[in-house]
Chains A and B, each alone.
Chain A
Amino acid sequence: DTGVSQDPRHKITKRGQNVTFRCDPISEHNRLYWYRQTLGQGPEFLTYFQNEAQLEKSRLLSDRFSAERPKGSFSTLEIQRTEQGDSAMYLCASSLPGPYEQYFGPGTRLTVT
C-alpha cells in the first residue's frame, strides 16, 4: 500500500497525559498537512510542512501541540497535557507542492477521558 498511513488508528488517553501520532506520507510527496476533524464538522487545518520545514501553524494549534518532520519523510504530532476538548480525528494528508491533490490517511481518532 503506497498511500498515506497513520499510527495509531485509535488512541484512548486520560486527561493530562501526553500523546504522539505518526504520519507516513506518500513517498514522493514533500508537502505534509495535519488537519483536525470533530464530529459533524469538516477537517480544519492545523499545520503543514514542506520537506522538513514547518511553514505555518494555525491559531487552533495551542502551545500544547507540536509537530515535527525531522528528515522530510514521516511526521509526528504531539499533544501535551491532553484535555477533553482535544478529542477528535487527527488527519494527515500529503501532496506535491503547488496546486496538486491532497491525499488523506485513515486518521487517528483520539479520545480523552
Chain B
Amino acid sequence: QKEVEQDPGPLSVPEGAIVSLNCTYSNSAFQYFMWYRQYSRKGPELLMYTYSSGNKEDGRFTAQVDKSSKYISLFIRDSQPSDSATYLCAMSSSSNDYKLSFGAGTTVTVRA
C-alpha cells in the first residue's frame, strides 16, 4: 500500500462546477500538506500549503486537512477550462526532514 493514496480520475466537470479532490495517507507523522497543479509536460506549481488540521482558502481554492481521519481535500469553486490539469497532493514531516511524499495525481478536465 502506498503512503499517499489519490484517485487518479479522470474527473470531468462542466465550467462553473465545484471540483472536489482528495487524498488519504497512512503516515501519522505528516504535518505539512500541499496541493500542486501540473500541466502536461510541465513542472508542478504550488497551489496551497497548510500546516496540521483545518481549512485554508485562497481565492477559488479551499484546502482542508483532517489529521484524525488522515484525509485532505482541495475544492475549486467556479471552475474554468484553464483549471484543466493534474492535481497532486503532497505531504511532509519534520521527522523526514520535509521531503515530499506525493499522491499519483488526479487529472481534471473542465468542459467549456
Contact = CB atoms under 8 A, between A and B. Distances in A.
B1 interface: no
A104 B41 contact: no
Contacts of B4: 42
Contact of B42 (A4, A31, A106): A106
A107 B42 contact: yes
B4 to A, nearest CB: 8
Residue among B42, B44, B88, B94 with the highest chain A CB neighbour number at 10 A? B44
Nearest to B6: A42
A105 interface: yes
Nearest to A3: B43
A41 B105 contact: yes
Interface stretch (B28-36, B60-68, B69-77): B28-36
B43 A42 contact: no
A91 B32 CA distance: 20
A98 B93 CA distance: 10
B1 to A, nearest CB: 15
A99 B32 contact: yes
A102 B51 contact: no
- The bracket for how many chain A residues form the interface is 20 to 34
Contacts, number: 65
B100 A55 contact: no
A27 to B, nearest CB: 18
Given A101-B34, A106-B42, A40 B102 contact: no
Contacts of A55: 97
B94 A91 contact: no
Interface string A80-113: 0000000001010101001111111111010000
A91 B81 CA distance: 26
A89 B44 CA distance: 11
8 contacts: A40-B105, A41-B104, A42-B88, A43-B44, A89-B41, A91-B43, A102-B100, A103-B46
Interface of A: 4, 6, 31, 33, 35, 40-45, 48, 55-56, 89, 91, 93, 95, 98-107, 109
**7 tightest A-B contacts by CB?**
A42-B102, A104-B43, A106-B43, A104-B44, A107-B43, A45-B99, A42-B104
